[in-house]
Structure 1
Amino acid sequence: MADQAFKPVTGHQVSAVDLVTVEVRSSILRGVLAPGARFSVAELARQMGLSHIPVREALRRLEGQGLIELQHARSAVVVPLSVADVSGIYGLRKMIEPELAARSATLNPPGHVRGLAELIARFEDDDPEEVWQAHQRFHRTLIEPAASAWDLRTLEQLWAAAERYTRLVYDFAAIASSERDRRERIHTTILDAVRAQDAGRTRAAVGAHLAENESELLERISGLDLAALGKRGSHPA
């Protein structure tokens, strides 16, 4: 771990556990902590100016998201990347998200379609991080009307696990206009199905989108040196 990989979090109003969770997760997603990297719990607590208790609790959260593995409560290791992991993550997402999206389309609560349309409009933003956040929010908003608390907890873990792959594999510092058009077309197809309250079309559109994402990720990471890939920073959209 670098001499000062993490920023102190004392003095903030948000809970220390939440702040540590965000800081370490961000370091993993940006590749500051590479796949397979080991770091000390005591050193992390020292750098962030905290006791070991909130640091361990935050690391347990990240372990639950599949991002790290705790080892005897003294150190942690960033979980390595693998093709099998991608298949497992997307296999579960394809089982859950299309059905929830289909049910949400038939429920059609007030503002649902408008909210989805507004998120697609944000795909035009010049800031790649803003585009990324809009895409993440689109998928959550899509299934929220029909999702239970357990559905959301499960999907949040899967989304977090998928995010580290997309953020490390894709370099979207500049988003080509053709890529923007492709994303808008895919998500507008989903939106049109939701607007029509057509469960079958919505289910098929979401399933096709996830399958395409999985296929592209697998193609991009197959044969790559994933450990080396994780050491570089990237700016996904």
Structure 2
Amino acid sequence: MTFEPAVRSIAQQNNSAVDLVTAEIRRSILTGALPAGEQFSIRDLARQLGVSHIPIREALRRLENQGLVVLKQARSAAVASLTTADMESIYALRLRIEPHIAEESVSKHTTDQLERLHELLERSRAIDPEIAWEAHHDFHAALVEPIASEWDLRVLETLWVATERYSHLVFDPTTITPEERQHRYDRHELLLSRVVAGDGPGLQRELREHLKSNEDDIRERIAYLERIKLERPTA
């Protein structure tokens, strides 16, 4: 199997090879270029990315820790499957952690942090899907930034990355209509309005509703995909 449509060469970039490999494989998984269940070899990835096997193996270990890949053997791996149970576990953890930290952060935001939230909100409706998704991720991180500990951020980062795979089932990363882009903007603007108003309990309530709504949408999408799979004629 080859990966021309899935991953891009990083041979000419100057950052750490492991960081670059991790970022590129992660991008391919989150955008669906490497779909759930896809198996691939370290040799193919090394050839396509233009690097040696060593950073590939280290990157795959990182991604396995994030729940994105499953290492099969010394020479191969697979993109982790997407299941309703897995998705519900991820959201259950986010709901226990994220809204509470966000609520406690409301009174601690500095002027610069509030300005950054506004900037990220505007970037979240960029036409370029990679810019929009990055801004969405950073917006949620900025909501908890004032009081989140290093360990809070480590745990939440893992959950945010895991959530993105499921979000892409519902919110296509490449074909976003203007209406959908505005809808996403409005939902996050509501969260920001609670921060600006100094309304911690309101932010916790709205963020919980936001996460539960996303969870419901993803659950419906997984059920739909499972029905389609069962109805598909077998060869």
TM norm. shorter chain > 0.5: yes
Give the deviation of 1:173 after TM superposition.
4.1
1:77 and 1:227 map into 2 onto residues whose CA distance is 22
1:3 and 1:22 map into 2 onto residues whose CA distance is 16
Pairs within 5 Å for 1:129-140: 129-140=130-141
The letter for the 1-side match of 2:2 is A
- Report the counterpart of residue 41 of structure 1 in structure 2: 42
Q: Which runs of 5+ in 1 are unaligned?
A: 229-237
Contact 2:37 2:78 in 1 (8 A): yes
What SS does the aligned partner of 1:2 have? coil
Give the deviation of 1:197 after TM superposition.
2.0
Residues 1:187 and 2:188 are matched in the alignment: yes
Residues 1:69 and 2:80 are matched in the alignment: no
CA 1:76–1:193 in 2, change beyond 3 Å: closer, same or farther? same
Worse-superposed segment, 128-137 or 4-13 = 4-13
The letter for the 2-side match of 1:116 is L
1:217 and 1:80 map into 2 onto residues whose CA distance is 14
2:8 and 2:228 map into 1 onto residues whose CA distance is 24
Contact 1:81 1:227 in 2 (8 A): no
Worse-superposed segment, 26-35 or 140-149 = 26-35
Given the two structures, how large is their TM-score scaled by the length of structure 2?
0.86
Give the deviation of 1:73 after TM superposition.
2.3
Once superposed, what is the RMSD of the aligned Cα atoms?
2.3
Q: Which runs of 5+ in 2 are unaligned?
A: 230-235
- Report the counterpart of residue 233 of structure 2 in structure 1: none
Contact 1:9 1:20 in 2 (8 A): yes
Contact 1:193 1:199 in 2 (8 A): yes
CA 1:145–1:30 in 2, change beyond 3 Å: closer, same or farther? same
Contact 2:69 2:78 in 1 (8 A): yes
CA 1:171–1:226 in 2, change beyond 3 Å: closer, same or farther? farther
1:221 and 1:161 map into 2 onto residues whose CA distance is 15
1:64 and 1:178 map into 2 onto residues whose CA distance is 36
Runs of 4+ with deviation above 6 angstroms: none
- Report the counterpart of residue 115 of structure 2 in structure 1: 114
Worse-superposed segment, 204-213 or 173-182 = 173-182
Pairs within 5 Å for 1:92-131: 92-131=93-132
Give the deviation of 1:131 after TM superposition.
2.6
Size of the aligned set, in residue pairs, is 228
Contact 2:3 2:44 in 1 (8 A): no
Contact 1:105 1:194 in 2 (8 A): yes
Contact 2:102 2:144 in 1 (8 A): yes
Which structure ranks higher in relative contact order (CA pairs < 8 Å, sequence separation ≥ 6)?
Answer: 1
- Report the counterpart of residue 232 of structure 1 in structure 2: none
Q: Percent identity?
A: 46
1:74 and 1:53 map into 2 onto residues whose CA distance is 11
